[in-house]
Structure 1
């Protein structure tokens, strides 16, 4: 607990000391959300269209699809006819394209933000080396992101099919997916704080090793970050009821600097135990 408290105090002190430098990663994060939203929505619209086509095809032959759904599961149902199989393959291809686009945008912008946060925390590493390692580490996490996207879209489609064919809603797994993302983010955060200390493969290995062996320190630190952003999110929701402009202003003033604070804080915690 002392490590967490001291790291938090030091991170706040550093941000006060380098308050003008906070603006740069904050602007990068803001730009990231705009670019990410644009790229995601662009590809998501195409995927959404294919999902609707899949749904319409399913509704044309519900008995055949229902039989496949019961006997072979969702994957079998989505390949019950050649047309369904072809559309399903297109959805998978576009999901992979989405994952690659997100990977590039995320790694480029967040790599820069993390490098700037490293500088505030006093850790020196050249930007090219940092970016190469950041992209390399994210290749590993990309696999888990692809798995998440495929499962999420398939569950959405399964829910649509179930409610219209059997008139009974499919069991919701949204909580499981949220837990999946939270656990994934925990190990990702550790790995980003280890960049520059090891080679990419060892970064991944040590992120899991530290994530479990030092969980008494790292997990409460992670929970503290989550609590802060939960509170900020609650404040933003309340401010939205007053004015969207007010919500935007509060978000710019609080959320983006908090993201830098979280990176610096977790970096300092890792430095004390790694």
Structure 2
């Protein structure tokens, strides 16, 4: 039997989702950790997916002009080969690069909601991908702009996005790291990462709505108003996070986030080893 979520829990988790969704520190991992540390329970993968609709709405608002321009260019390009410029190509890159995570998300949905949320796994992944970030920063040439994005880049970053199905990885961290390995500028990698997340996260959130209201065994049960408020909180804080992150990564490396991830991962491992918190 699942426990009912309180208003305080839903608001705090919504704030955590908004703050961590776009930073390369894993929103799903943080929601799992915060809910265990403070509430002694798991907010659930469905609650996480639904509140991500708030942060994806923030992406839609923040990049509204870009998104409208890309969609319009995509339709123009379909009708007229002479109109197939950068925005037309990016539209196709986002569509094609979303296919891998759509397939794997459906195939492994049960594991994502259960064994994938084990805190031993979350803590380990936090540390491992901190190292990945550091390697990407060290060996990336960071010479290619968004205008130089290719289909290969899109497909590689789309494949990397699949890793975000594991709590602790970070969608933006995985895709941006892939972009860095491909030689993209840091800000260009993050911008495409945000655009790439829109279809997958929106579909995941809508698909998870029924389960969020009545979790089947895993996760606390939130009411409709609680989910709505949590999603709105995630939207407001998420919008501010996007603006801050794009400005930050234009001047600073991902190593700052890597250091934070290692500290958090090691802390969780210590708490698990000493029995202070439970892994499941």
Q: TM-score w.r.t. structure 2 length? A: 0.29
Larger gyration radius, structure 1 or structure 2: 1
Q: Which has the higher contact order (CA 8 A, sep 6+)?
A: 2
Q: More helix by proportion, 1 or 2? A: 1
